[in-house]
Chain A
């Protein structure tokens, strides 16, 4: 039931864009996105509910397609502060975090 994320890791230069995907084998009612910096606790970014809406958080936005059981996180014009591991999270009686995507932004 753990959602699968792709890619596993990505390296970007400042200003470049990235997309992180999250796929579930089960029907999705909502998707959470979190970011975890090295040695720290995960921090909530956004939640998307059924309806395919796209939500934004500064230059980080996400979409949710419940029919495809997928969500994507879009990072535009990346900054050094975006580095970290990104996790999606889904609910199915209990909460499951995805496998994680390590994102490194270099100058």
Chain B
């Protein structure tokens, strides 16, 4: 089992360019998440998908869109990248979401720089 995989590992964008970060999990998990991690800010939730076919905004959704393509895949799109979106992006999955949800499994991360 690969667990949670993310592509690409690194990306440099110019301001205004668009891109999609891909995430896939092979653990048959229902819930998937996208986080960004900035120095001194910890991990902040961008969007999550409690189950296939549903998506919800997290703490910092502005400037992002997501697609839960199927149970395995959850993509994050930046339509018009801004320098403030320079960050490390982590995808995660868990069997469930909500109160008492079990542990989350994280992908290796995507380091994005917007110049």
Contact = CB atoms under 8 A, between A and B. Distances in A.
Interface of A: 1-2, 29-30, 32, 40-44, 47, 49, 87, 89, 91, 94-100
Contacts of A95: 33, 45, 48, 97, 101, 104
9 contacts: A2-B44, A30-B99, A41-B90, A41-B106, A41-B109, A49-B100, A87-B42, A94-B59, A95-B45
A44 B106 CA distance: 9
Interface in B20-45: 33, 35, 41-45
Interface in B53-105: 56, 58-59, 90, 97-105
Contacts of B56: 94
Interface of B: 33, 35, 41-45, 48, 56, 58-59, 90, 97-109
A40 B6 CA distance: 13
Contact of A99 (B42, B103, B109): B42
B109 to A, nearest CB: 6
Nearest to A97: B43
Contact of A44 (B48, B99, B104, B109): B104
Given A1-B59, A42-B106, 8 more contacts: A2-B44, A2-B59, A30-B101, A42-B90, A44-B105, A94-B59, A95-B104, A97-B45
Contacts of B105: 44
Given A41-B90, A41-B109, A95-B33, A100 B42 contact: yes
B26 to A, nearest CB: 16
B42 A2 contact: yes
B106 A43 contact: yes
B59 A96 contact: yes
A47 B42 contact: no
A89 B35 CA distance: 13
A99 B42 CA distance: 5
